[in-house]
């Protein structure tokens, strides 16, 4: 047999060969039938609005009629020069940090306490998960009552302790900390569930082997369980980061961005200074910046951390 007729041992199929294979095994037909509806919907409701938003960002437009007043990069210049935008970015970063530093460890701690399948743990899991399944607006309203200095829980505390009434949500320095408490309370259950699912996958005999070798409870968590659930922690952190960039509907019922615009996040800033003031072009510019940041974070995080964790 001549050398030319011998196929190389690790030869990969070429495009034409792959197409022939897809036709013969029905994958091409399946793709032609199933792909167009999803593609059309995705294009109509995601790609086109994104493209339009990018286009509006270069116009001074109030949302009525056709955008005609082309302003170039003026919306972006205004945004980056606006002090409230800096506050909003700072607040978004604070939420990001608090999610990673407080919310995730708290969720992990609680997950370690309740991950084993017992009836008591099931009750606690449900209790811890309730805030997450509650609508954001409802949660915001509940907490606005808690923080209400006249009639809420804080009013009762002030009366009981015999101190002056205090209005946390009206305090420029404290309001955002109160919001961060609500955010941690609202979303820790979600991260806890991710960890619970992962912890239940850690083989019992690995934990028992560590016990036999003399590992304490803390050492088992540190050396056996956390390394084992590292991919789940990476996913959880990814959701925490993306979630921090999107915080909106907790803040509106609590402070609506106040007092003195001190509790805005990027999204509430977009809503307040773009949509409610009918400056759709400006809002679009904020949206474009937010989208680019989110995509960059997602891509870099996936490449840097999630693959590493999975390996």
Partner 1 sequence: MAEVRLENVAKAFGSLTVIPDLSLHVPDKSFTVLVGPSGCGKSTLLRLIAGLERPTRGTVRIGGEDVTTKEPSKRGISMVFQSYALYPHMSVARNIDFGLRITGVSKEEREARVAEAARILALEDHLDRKPSELSGGQRQRVAIGRSIVRNPKVFLFDEPLSNLDAALRTQMRVELAELHHSIDSTMIYVTHDQVEAMTLADQIVVMNKGRVEQIGSPMDLYDRPASVFVAGFIGSPKMNLISGKRFGNPEAETVGVRPEDMELTEGQGYEATARVVETLGSDTIAHVRVDELGDLTVRLPGHMRLRDGERLRVTPNPDRLHYFDADDRRMETARA
The residue (of 172 and 217) whose beta carbon lies closer to partner 1 is 217
Question: Token pair of 222, please?
Answer: 């540190």
Binding residues (CB under 8 A) for partner 1: these are: 203, 205-206, 208-216, 219, 223-224, 227-228, 230
Identify which of residues 2 and 218 has a Cβ nearer to partner 1 in the complex. Answer: 218
CB nearer to partner 1: give 231 or 258.
231
In the complex with partner 1, the residue whose CB is nearer, 82 or 230, is: 230
| Residue with Cβ nearer partner 1 (16 or 212) | 212
Of 8 and 214, CB closest to partner 1 = 214
Instruction: Count the residues in the chain.
Output: 311
């Amino acid at each position: 047999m001549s050398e030319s007729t011998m196929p190389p041992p690790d030869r990969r199929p070429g495009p034409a060969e792959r197409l022939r294979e897809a036709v013969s095994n029905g994958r091409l037909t399946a793709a032609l039938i199933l792909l167009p509806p999803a593609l059309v919907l995705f294009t109509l409701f995601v790609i086109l609005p994104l493209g339009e938003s990018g286009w509006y960002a270069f116009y001074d437009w109030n949302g009525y009629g056709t955008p005609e007043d082309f302003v170039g990069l003026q919306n972006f210049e205004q945004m980056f020069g606006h002090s409230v935008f800096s506050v909003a970015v700072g607040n978004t970063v604070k939420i990001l940090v608090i999610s990673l530093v407080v919310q995730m460890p708290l969720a992990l701690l609680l997950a370690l306490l309740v991950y084993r399948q017992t009836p008591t743990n099931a009750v606690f899991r449900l209790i811890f998960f309730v805030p997450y399944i509650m609508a954001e607006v409802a949660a915001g309203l509940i907490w606005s009552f808690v923080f209400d200095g006249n009639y809420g829980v804080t009013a009762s505390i002030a009366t009981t302790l015999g101190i002056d009434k205090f209005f946390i949500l009206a305090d420029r320095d404290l309001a955002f900390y109160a919001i961060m408490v609500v955010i941690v309370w609202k979303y820790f259950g979600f991260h806890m569930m991710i960890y619970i699912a992962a912890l239940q996958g850690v083989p019992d005999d690995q934990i028992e082997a560590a016990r036999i070798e003399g590992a304490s409870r803390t050492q088992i968590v540190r050396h056996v369980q956390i390394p084992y659930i590292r991919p789940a922690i990476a996913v959880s952190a990814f959701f925490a980061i993306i979630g921090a960039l999107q915080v909106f509907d907790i803040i509106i019922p609590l402070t609506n961005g106040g007092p003195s615009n001190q509790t805005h996040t990027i999204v509430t800033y977009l809503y307040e200074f773009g949509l409610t003031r009918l400056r759709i072009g400006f809002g679009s510019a904020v949206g474009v910046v937010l989208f680019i940041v989110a995509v960059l974070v997602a891509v870099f995080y996936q490449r840097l951390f999630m693959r590493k964790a999975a390996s």
